């Protein structure tokens, strides 16, 4: 039940495909919400960009929409707090106007620059910034821009994220929260300031970047124009907030060391909480972004999630998929078949790296493989192996995190895969660990609400907020299946280790055969 | 001796999937034909059995149907039989169990044990057969260790073709060609090898007398008259194994002429004038006659890969999925855009003889579709044949000419892929039914009409030549290097995975 007197936080989730505004009360009930869609431009292979103005307009529309739906609650709104998709890069001119579209986190045009910098400075940069070198981060993106759009690069007065730009338009103030600053790959982890090594490599100066502030920092005033347009008090506090990876961790109730969260949507991720920054992983596999109060979120994102399973489905269930409308039926068939095959899919392995892999192997050349096919295998085994392969990929991320942050005692799950009991059971069995289902799957928005409540003094600690997330169910590992998976996991590791060099050889052949004929 | 044009011999090919009968005149012309299928049963993983009485009934039906199209009765029959079938009979000649086919790998443990014996290589050198579960030697040990009750009642062990001959003529005779595919025949003496019999723990009395392939196997006796509709007294020439007769029927008799066969399984074969074995045991050698020894390498997984994909993975319910899959595969470029398949769904025979090898689809990417799978599967068989051909040329000398046989001759795309992978021209004989044609030609030879088997070369026409494309050959050569490396790198995984499959898979 919503408390009529409870202060409400307006949580703004700036995602890649939509902006959502949610009114959340102290008990983390969602009073109302409103979403506004966003367009992504993909003009070329690997380019994923977004114009800034539509993002601002969508944010305004979502906020207005949420407030309009509950005019009765407007008096209770106590502040705003942001969650956002990290690592977008937007150039601004001297008048603070965008010079072009923002390159989103998903933009991979700078892959060559990333590889080149990694080769030369990878280890040192990782120790300083805690970010593995990848095209998603700012240094490769800046290098790409300098090389391919030199005029834009030299005329850029400031470089910001899309969230910084929305905040700028709301308040007239320029600021980046420490979590987002870390997720640019340019921040020094230990000192919380822009690091001179990546900046000098990129060829920019610290005054071209926004000042770094805590995630709990409060900007005290809206511009009059924004306040008027949104129908908000100009002195309503705006809490800077943090990146969506960090806040969805908090929003699933994970706030203490030993707790972890795993997610599978289109892709997948695993995150843990630590009491200090990362950046110490010898293999440079995972990122670490600050939350608040000396807590850090360590995480790794991987590519091998729902998209991979959908691809397998479209491949082997084409009789059912046929028309796109039947895909729910095909999905159900895949799950039903997969449930028929035993743990380990009768010795069929599936490496799910259909489009290269990020954490923990960071191998762009990696590709998918079914290994161990025998004449008795059917589509049921292929379906099962596909699910198991995605869980194996997730497991390797958590394993890398565990090496840095200590043993994992609790796993909370989120993302589309929580709708599949089989998929979750495979995870519980393969991890050999109980899974907790959060009571509410609005992870990043709830995280923003908790952070906002804490910043505004409505709760005493982040842990107090996280405790209110609650759980709705548990999944226990099956001992027999877990025993089988203890044998399967080393088989996966061995297969990948044996194939690592071959993936590079395969890339050279792919390049060559593209020139070939029918 | 000039025969009247209507006179014919029936070449009866008792294959794995069915019986093909051709009526062929003395000039090699095919006058009539009939095909009748029969099933293989797989009651447990790795087992492959056939009901000998059902096979017998279907063989008779095939003969009857073919003969019905002739103006007059055939001069004779000559039989071709699948290699390696293993059938224990009691003292009344009744089967004690179903016949185990070449695809049956239940004796894998026994084969592995035998392979470790100090005498293993000498056994291979004498018999031409590597120690592999498809041969009789390990199968006999399996019988001893698992069904001693049946072994105790066994009076004879025969091949399915021997069983058919007996029911046609009343004679118990083994031809030396099929006999040498048991792994128990000495290639020099052309009789059962004492050392091999010792290793198999079999006494000689359980085996049939070994006869040359042109031996008069007797004539159609009263009880076969009704089932075959042939006149009593029609002569039956003993015949040989389908592999050797397929080479004969493809006109590939001369030195340096190779046959590349792709059916359900696949093989590369050539004749040598003397027994030929490989220090590395990659190839086998079976006798046809004193002047013709068939040297070859066989692969387990060829057409059956597409069949598996269509039936088990895609659930197509299509009696002939090859047409659909090859049509789709034709839309994809050579190299399947970086998708590579290792086809070891039923383990591997030549050249590595690793029954624990397993299938691999490697290089999967989001832009791959079903068509890429199909293309990669077609290509995988070609890549396997290249491995076998390379071993074969080291053992038997260079291939001057490569002729083709088996179901893939009906697929222009598959022929082109194999030609491109091998980088060689392929010559397509005028009939795809080379084993049955070879059997008929052997029949004419036995009757003195074809004085030399070499003469088959003149009688068998070539209907087309498929030439390799140099650009695609270049692509495939790069792919071949990767495919060999992939196989080597995964050896360890195959061991572990097959262990896991044995431990955790329900029987």
Query: Which DSSP string do the residues of B68-128 spell out, in sequence order?
Result: HTSSS--SEEEEEE-TT-BEEE-TTS-BSSPEE-TT--TTHHHHHHHHTSTTHHHHHHHHS
DSSP H helices in A130-254: 138-148, 150-155, 162-171, 178-182, 196-202, 224-230, 244-251
Q: Cβ of A318 and B370 within 8 Å?
A: yes
Whole-angstrom distance, CA of residue B12 vs CA of residue B78: 6
On whether any CB of chain B is under 8 Å from the CB of A382, the answer is: yes
Lowest mean pLDDT among B74-83, B246-255, B314-323: B314-323
Preceding amide of A360 cis, omega within 30: yes
Please write the tens of the pLDDT for every residue from B57-112.
999 999 999 999 999 999 999 999 999 999 999 999 999 999 999 989 899 999 99
Q: Which residues of A touch B330 (CB under 8 A)?
A: 518
Q: What is the signed CA dihedral for A416, A417, A421, A422, rounded to 10 degrees?
A: 150
Whole-angstrom distance, CA of residue B310 vs CA of residue A266: 29
Residue of B nearest to A494 (CA): B493
On whether any CB of chain B is under 8 Å from the CB of A498, the answer is: yes
Q: Which residues of A touch B359 (CB under 8 A)?
A: 370, 372-374
Residue of A nearest to B363 (CA): A367
Q: Residues 469..488 of B with a Cβ closer than 8 Å to A: which?
A: 469, 471-472, 475, 478-479, 482, 485-486
On whether any CB of chain B is under 8 Å from the CB of A372, the answer is: yes
Question: A107: left (phi > 0), else alpha (psi -120 to 50), else beta?
Answer: beta
Percent of chain B at pLDDT exceeding 90: 88
User: Strand, helix or coil at A4?
Assistant: coil
- For chain A, how long is the longest CA-to-CA vector? 71
Q: What is the signed CA dihedral for A49, A53, A55, A57, rounded to 10 degrees?
A: -160
Strands A435-438 vs A410-414: parallel, antiparallel or unpaired? parallel
Choose the closest CB to B492 out of A314, A372, A498.
A498
Q: How far is A137 from chain B (nearest CA, A)?
A: 24
Q: Which residues of B touch A267 (CB under 8 A)?
A: none
Please write the tens of the pLDDT for every residue from B185-218.
999 999 999 999 999 999 999 999 999 999 999 9
Reported as a pLDDT band with limits 50, 70 and 90, residue B46 is: confident
Q: Taking a C-beta distance cutoff of 8 angstroms, is the pair B404, B260 a contact?
A: yes
On whether any CB of chain B is under 8 Å from the CB of A329, the answer is: no
Q: In what order do the strands lie in the sheet with A368-373?
A: A349-352, A368-373, B359-364, B340-342
Whole-angstrom distance, CA of residue B360 vs CA of residue A39: 40
Query: B382 vs B200, B348, B391, B476, CA distance in Å?
Result: 35, 14, 14, 10
Q: Residues 474..493 of A with a Cβ closer than 8 Å to B: which?
A: 484, 487-488, 490-491
Chain position carrying tokens 């029918």: A518
Size of interface A-B (CB pairs under 8 A): 167
Return the DSSP state at B407: G
Choose the closest CB to B361 out of A314, A369, A378.
A369
Q: Cβ of A487 and B504 within 8 Å?
A: yes
User: Strand, helix or coil at B498?
Assistant: helix
Choose the closest CB to A509 out of B359, B482, B504.
B482
pLDDT at A3: 60
Q: Which residues of B touch A510 (CB under 8 A)?
A: 337-338, 363
Q: Residues 330..369 of B with a Cβ closer than 8 Å to A: which?
A: 330, 333-335, 337-338, 340, 344-346, 358-366, 368-369
Buried b (16+ CB within 10 A) or exposed e, A147-156: eeeeeebeeb
Whole-angstrom distance, CA of residue A391 vs CA of residue A394: 5
pLDDT at B498: 86
Q: How far is B372 from chain A (nearest CA, A)?
A: 10
pLDDT at B133: 92
Q: How far is B323 from chain A (nearest CA, A)?
A: 17
Q: Cβ of A510 and B360 within 8 Å?
A: no
Q: Residues 269..328 of B with a Cβ closer than 8 Å to A: which?
A: 304, 308, 312-316
Q: What is the signed CA dihedral for A122, A124, A128, A130, rounded to 10 degrees?
A: 40
pLDDT at A279: 75
On whether any CB of chain B is under 8 Å from the CB of A506, the answer is: yes
Q: Cβ of A512 and B478 within 8 Å?
A: yes
Take residue B388 and report the two structure tokens written for it: 């076998």
Q: Taking a C-beta distance cutoff of 8 angstroms, is the pair B274, B120 a contact?
A: no
Query: A176 vs A1, A248, A361, CA distance in Å?
Result: 35, 19, 30
Take residue A39 and report the two structure tokens written for it: 């367009």
Reported as a pLDDT band with limits 50, 70 and 90, residue B264 is: confident
- For chain B, how long is the longest CA-to-CA vector? 67
- CB proximity list for B142: less than 8 A, separation 6 or greater: B106, B107, B109, B110
Positive or negative: CA dihedral A433, A438, A442, A446 = negative
Q: Which residues of B touch A498 (CB under 8 A)?
A: 489-490, 492-493
pTM (2 decimals)? Answer: 0.89
Mutual angle of helices A306-316 and A327-340, in 10-degree steps: 90
Residue of B nearest to A374 (CA): B345
On whether any CB of chain A is under 8 Å from the CB of B371, the answer is: no
- Summary mean pLDDT of chain B: 94
| Mean pLDDT confidence for B215-234 | 94
Using only C-alpha atoms, chain A has a radius of gyration, in whole angstroms, of: 23
Buried b (16+ CB within 10 A) or exposed e, B6-28: ebbbbbbbbbbebbbbbbbbbeb
Q: How far is CA B378 from the centre of its chain?
A: 19
Residue of B nearest to A514 (CA): B337
Reported as a pLDDT band with limits 50, 70 and 90, residue B4 is: low
Q: Cβ of A371 and B45 within 8 Å?
A: no
Strands A18-24 vs A77-84: parallel, antiparallel or unpaired? unpaired
pLDDT at A513: 65
- Name the β-bridge partners of B271: B294
Q: How far is A316 from chain B (nearest CA, A)?
A: 5
pLDDT at A517: 41
CB A7: neighbour CB atoms within 10 A?
16
Return the DSSP state at B17: S
Q: How far is B392 from chain A (nearest CA, A)?
A: 27
pLDDT at B506 over 70: no
Q: Taking a C-beta distance cutoff of 8 angstroms, is the pair A343, A484 a contact?
A: yes
User: Strand, helix or coil at A101?
Assistant: coil
Q: How far is B121 from chain A (nearest CA, A)?
A: 29
Q: Which of A373, A388, A495 to mutate to probe the B interface, most B CBs <10 Å? A: A373
pLDDT at B502: 79
pLDDT at B1: 45
Provide the residue count of chain B.
Answer: 507
Whole-angstrom distance, CA of residue B179 vs CA of residue B207: 10
**Taking CA A324 as the corner, what is the angle to CA A318 and CA A329, rounded to the nearest 5 degrees?**
70
A379, with CB counted inside 10 A (0-12, 13-18, 19+), is: buried
CB B488: neighbour CB atoms within 10 A?
12
On whether any CB of chain B is under 8 Å from the CB of A516, the answer is: yes
Mean pLDDT, chain A cut into blocks of 10 residues (518 residues total): 79 94 95 94 90 97 96 93 97 97 94 93 94 94 98 98 98 98 96 97 98 97 95 95 96 95 93 89 91 96 89 85 68 95 95 91 92 94 98 97 93 93 98 93 92 97 94 95 96 96 88 56
Please write the tens of the pLDDT for every residue from B384-405.
999 999 999 999 999 999 999 9
Q: Cβ of B333 and A516 within 8 Å?
A: yes
pLDDT at B499: 86
């Amino acid at each position: 039940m919503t408390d009529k007197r409870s202060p409400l936080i307006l949580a703004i989730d700036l995602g890649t495909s939509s902006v959502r505004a949610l009114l959340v009360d102290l008990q983390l009930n969602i009073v109302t919400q409103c979403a506004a869609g966003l367009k992504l431009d993909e003009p070329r292979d690997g380019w994923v960009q977004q114009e800034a103005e539509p993002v601002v307009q969508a944010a305004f529309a979502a906020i207005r929409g949420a407030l309009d739906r509950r005019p009765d609650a407007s008096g209770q709104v106590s502040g705003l707090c942001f969650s956002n998709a990290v690592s977008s890069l937007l150039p601004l001119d001297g008048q603070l106007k965008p010079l072009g579209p923002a390159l989103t986190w998903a933009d991979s045009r700078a892959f060559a620059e990333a590889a080149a910098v990694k080769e030369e400075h990878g280890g040192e940069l990782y120790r300083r910034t805690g970010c593995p070198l990848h095209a998603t981060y700012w240094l490769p993106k800046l290098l790409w821009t300098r090389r391919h759009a030199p005029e834009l690069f030299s005329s850029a007065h400031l470089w910001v994220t899309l969230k910084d730009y929305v905040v700028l338009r709301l308040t007239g103030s320029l600021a980046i929260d420490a979590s987002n600053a870390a997720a640019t790959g340019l921040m020094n982890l230990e000192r919380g300031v822009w690091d001179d090594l990546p900046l000098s490599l990129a060829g920019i100066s610290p005054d071209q970047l926004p000042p770094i502030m805590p995630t709990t920092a409060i900007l005290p005033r809206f511009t009059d124009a924004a306040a008027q347009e949104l129908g908000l008090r100009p002195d309503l506090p705006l809490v800077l907030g943090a990146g969506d990876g960090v806040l969805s961790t908090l929003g699933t109730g994970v706030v203490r060391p030993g707790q972890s969260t795993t997610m599978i949507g289109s892709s997948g991720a695993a995150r843990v909480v630590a009491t200090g920054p990362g950046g110490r992983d010898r293999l440079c596999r995972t990122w670490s972004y600050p939350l608040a109060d000396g807590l850090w979120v360590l995480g790794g994102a991987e590519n091998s999630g729902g998209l991979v399973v959908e691809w397998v489905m479209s491949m082997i269930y084409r009789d059912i998929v046929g028309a796109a409308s039947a895909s729910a039926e095909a999905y159900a068939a895949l799950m039903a078949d997969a449930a028929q095959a035993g743990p380990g899919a009768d010795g069929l392995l599936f490496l799910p790296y259909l489009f290269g892999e990020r954490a923990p192997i960071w191998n762009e050349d990696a590709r998918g493989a079914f290994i161990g096919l025998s004449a008795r295998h059917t589509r049921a085994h292929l379906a099962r192996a596909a699910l198991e392969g995605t869980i194996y990929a997730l497991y390797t991320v958590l394993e890398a995190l565990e090496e840095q942050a200590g043993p994992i005692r609790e796993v909370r799950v989120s993302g589309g895969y929580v709708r599949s009991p089989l998929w979750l059971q495979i995870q519980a069995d393969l991890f050999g660990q109980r899974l907790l289902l959060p009571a509410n799957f609005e992870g990043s928005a709830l995280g923003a609400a908790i952070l906002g409540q804490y910043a505004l003094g409505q709760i005493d600690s982040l842990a107090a907020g996280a405790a209110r997330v609650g759980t709705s169910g548990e999944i226990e590992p099956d001992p027999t299946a877990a025993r089988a998976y203890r044998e399967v996991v080393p088989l996966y590791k061995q297969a990948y280790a044996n194939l690592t060099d071959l993936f590079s050889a395969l890339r050279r052949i792919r390049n060559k055969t593209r020139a070939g004929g029918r | 001796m000039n025969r009247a044009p209507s006179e014919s011999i029936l070449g009866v090919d008792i294959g794995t999937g069915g019986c093909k009968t051709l009526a062929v005149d003395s000039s090699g012309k095919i006058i009539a034909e009939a095909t009748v299928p029969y099933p293989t049963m797989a009651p447990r993983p790795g087992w492959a059995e056939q009901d000998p009485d059902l096979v017998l009934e279907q063989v008779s039906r095939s003969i009857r149907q073919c003969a019905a199209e002739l103006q007059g009765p055939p001069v004779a029959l000559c039989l071709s039989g699948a290699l390696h079938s293993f059938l224990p009979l009691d003292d009344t000649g009744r089967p004690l169990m179903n016949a185990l086919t070449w695809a049956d790998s239940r004796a894998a443990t026994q084969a592995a044990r035998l392979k470790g014996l100090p005498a293993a290589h000498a056994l291979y050198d004498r018999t031409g057969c590597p120690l592999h579960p498809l041969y009789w030697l390990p199968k006999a040990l399996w019988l001893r260790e698992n069904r001693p009750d049946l072994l105790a009642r066994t009076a004879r062990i025969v091949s399915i073709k021997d069983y058919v001959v007996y029911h046609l003529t009343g004679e118990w005779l083994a031809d030396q060609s099929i006999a040498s595919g048991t792994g128990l025949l000495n290639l020099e003496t052309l009789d059962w090898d004492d050392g091999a019999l010792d290793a198999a723990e079999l006494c000689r009395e359980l085996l049939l007398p070994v006869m040359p392939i042109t031996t008069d196997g007797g004539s159609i006796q009263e009880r076969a008259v009704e089932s075959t509709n042939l006149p009593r007294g029609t002569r039956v020439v003993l015949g040989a194994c389908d592999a050797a007769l397929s080479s004969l029927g493809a006109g590939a008799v001369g030195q340096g002429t190779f046959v590349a066969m792709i059916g359900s399984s696949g093989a590369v074969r050539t004749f040598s004038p003397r027994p030929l074995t490989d220090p590395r045991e990659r190839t086998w050698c079976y006798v046809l006659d004193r002047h013709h020894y068939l040297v070859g390498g066989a692969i387990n997984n060829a057409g059956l890969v597409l069949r598996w994909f269509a039936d088990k993975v895609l659930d197509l319910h299509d009696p002939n999925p090859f047409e659909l899959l090859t049509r789709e595969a034709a839309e994809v470029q050579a190299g399947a855009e970086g998708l590579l398949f290792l086809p070891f769904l039923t383990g591997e025979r030549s050249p590595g003889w690793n029954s624990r090898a397993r299938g691999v689809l490697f290089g999967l990417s989001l832009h791959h579709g079903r068509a890429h799978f199909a293309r990669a599967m077609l290509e995988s068989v070609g890549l396997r044949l290249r491995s076998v051909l390379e071993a074969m040329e080291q053992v038997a000398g260079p291939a001057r000419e490569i002729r083709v046989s088996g179901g893939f001759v009906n697929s222009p795309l598959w022929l082109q892929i194999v030609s491109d992978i091998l980088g060689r021209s392929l010559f397509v004989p005028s009939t795809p039914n080379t084993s049955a044609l070879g059997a008929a030609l052997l029949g004419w030879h036995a009757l003195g009409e074809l004085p030399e088997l070499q003469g088959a070369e003149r009688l068998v026409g070539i209907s087309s030549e498929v030439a390799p494309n140099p650009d695609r050959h270049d692509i495939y050569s790069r792919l071949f290097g990767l495919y060999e490396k992939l196989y080597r790198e995964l050896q360890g995984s195959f061991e572990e995975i097959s262990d896991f499959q044995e431990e955790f898979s329900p029987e």
